[in-house]
Structure 1
């Protein structure tokens, strides 16, 4: 990391700080890992990282909603098809995946804000 460049909590370790050399390229690489592999086929997303960030944000938000819906219905949908311990393991997977997706969404939003030109300033309490 560059000295004197502040990145807020939640900034992804894989993305260089804004204004550092090749930071946008590192953001594109990281964002492409957050979306389905087919998104790599669209050159426009590499050429316009803000568009990629927007699509990644929307994709992850949809995944969060899908995980919440899946969690709510898993026990009922699976109880006749899986043993109780397996149903609980599925629910546990949702319990872990949901917070991971929320953290990912927050990181994507930070990167998108930086791509749009926002500068982060450390706030002291």
Structure 2
């Protein structure tokens, strides 16, 4: 009986590589990460590895936006918000940056698996 291995950081919504219907679960999860308009592009729905590349770039753009928001929060908000509101915004950007780092790892692992990489169970 085959053993399907998913590495640390693999999304729980996606079955491990080579498990039954794993690519369908990957496609569904990747589409959930992307803007809703991506669902309307037949090329992305037919070619899951291409969808994965689009998802990687979309997540990376979100990371860049979070980092920019963090770097500009104090200067851009000082005229419109109190210091405690600004600090809350900074904390929110930090949380979002950390969340997106995990998503970026997960989407990268799915893309690698769609490109043929398989993972080995480690002790």
Q: TM-score, normalised by structure 1?
A: 0.93
Residue aligning to 1:54:
53
Displaced runs of 4+ in structure 1, greater than 3 A? Answer: none
**Separation in structure 2 between the aligned mates of residue 44 and residue 28 of structure 1, nearest angstrom:** 12
Q: Deviations over 1:44-97 (max 9, x none)?
A: 111000000000001111111111111001111001101111111111110100
**Separation in structure 1 between the aligned mates of residue 22 and residue 122 of structure 2, nearest angstrom:** 23
**Separation in structure 2 between the aligned mates of residue 72 and residue 34 of structure 1, nearest angstrom:** 24
Alpha-carbon deviation of 1:3? 6.7
**Separation in structure 1 between the aligned mates of residue 61 and residue 25 of structure 2, nearest angstrom:** 24
Give unpaired runs (5+ residues) of structure 1: none
Residue aligning to 1:37:
36
Give unpaired runs (5+ residues) of structure 2: none
3-state DSSP of counterpart to 1:10: coil
**Separation in structure 2 between the aligned mates of residue 40 and residue 83 of structure 1, nearest angstrom:** 40
Compute the RMSD of aligned alpha carbons.
Answer: 1.3
Q: Deviations over 1:88-110 (max 9, x none)?
A: 11111101000100100100010
Residue aligning to 1:91:
90
Residue aligning to 2:120:
121
**Separation in structure 2 between the aligned mates of residue 25 and residue 43 of structure 1, nearest angstrom:** 15
Q: TM-score, normalised by structure 2?
A: 0.95
Aligned pair count reads 123
Residue aligning to 2:62:
63
